[in-house]
Structure 1
Amino acid sequence: MSEIPATPYAASLPFLLSQVGARAAQLFADRLAPLGVSPRAFGVLSNLTGTSTRTQQQLADALGMHRNNMVGLIDEMEAAGWVRRHRSAQDRRAFEIRLTPAGAELVDRVAALIPPMEAEIARDLVPDDRHALVDLLIRVAETLHLDPGIHPHLRARTRSTGAAPEQ
């Protein structure tokens, strides 16, 4: 591996990735707000699509969320009509979480927001550069051992103390 020359903070890869990521996250949250869904709730909903049924605990484990945070989030999403809890046939103590038709429709509505947002973010890139950037970011995500489709901020801090979640 070759030596990476020192660069000013504002031109460093960690800063630029953080800066662009923070702005993209804000743009995404702004687009979700009129739909009444938070990025965290959408992260859970999007991970329920196309999967076999998962228990609430399996979902929390897969997303890296503390079980108490998951319970509260599922409560909110159930009240909104996006998911339903069902007693597990295999373990009567566990709840399986399933998307409702309204939840699936919401996931589709959010999916339709992605292409225009991507076009806005990459408007100054030619298609080949955009594809190269996506490929490079996928490689960086793999290097950092990030799970595809799982945003690290789903592991948000607990509401009451601001402390990091238990792992």
Structure 2
Amino acid sequence: MTMTRTSVVARSASTVGIAALLLLSGGTAAQAVGAGTNSECSGDGPDIAVSNVSDTYVPGNLRIYGDSGAVLSIESGQSSEVHADVSVSGTVTADAVVASASVTAGVTLGVAQTITQSASASYTVPEGLNGQYIELGSAGKAFSWTATTYNRACVVTDTQGGNSVAPTANAYVTKSW
């Protein structure tokens, strides 16, 4: 059984005609579809597919702690660093995965962002609770991804994927209780 990988590509009538001639004259499918620097068969990088996108919170590095009855505040202008959680290896980069997720989600995501709070936020720790905190992080997206890398002969050389999160530039304050 022979399996063929196909792609839907918009081509001009002349390109389609040339592709048909190449196939009829014994050319390869890669030649017929015009494998070049933008093709998954060119060996220039992985194809990355993103799915199961949902809203999530991405933790930051600014936490304010307090015990029962304490007022915890994050002031306007305070900043926090937030980072994507993407595990990759080989030719796949976190930047490429996050860029693909941005396109799929329809929102700008980053591998690392500095989030700045635009308005003050204060919360009182409920009675009887100790060691609580508020944290400045980011609204973000959780997603699944798969990256497939091909060589110039359109043979799969690497497949990897996972579940990841990436931040937007939108500040979000959360509390531990």
Asked if Structure 1 and Structure 2 have the same fold, meaning a TM-score greater than 0.5 normalized by the shorter chain, the answer is no
- In terms of fraction of residues, the more helix-rich structure is 1
Larger relative CO (CA 8 A, sep 6+): 1 or 2? 2
* Structure label with greater radius of gyration: 2
TM-score (norm 2): 0.22
TM-score (norm 1): 0.23
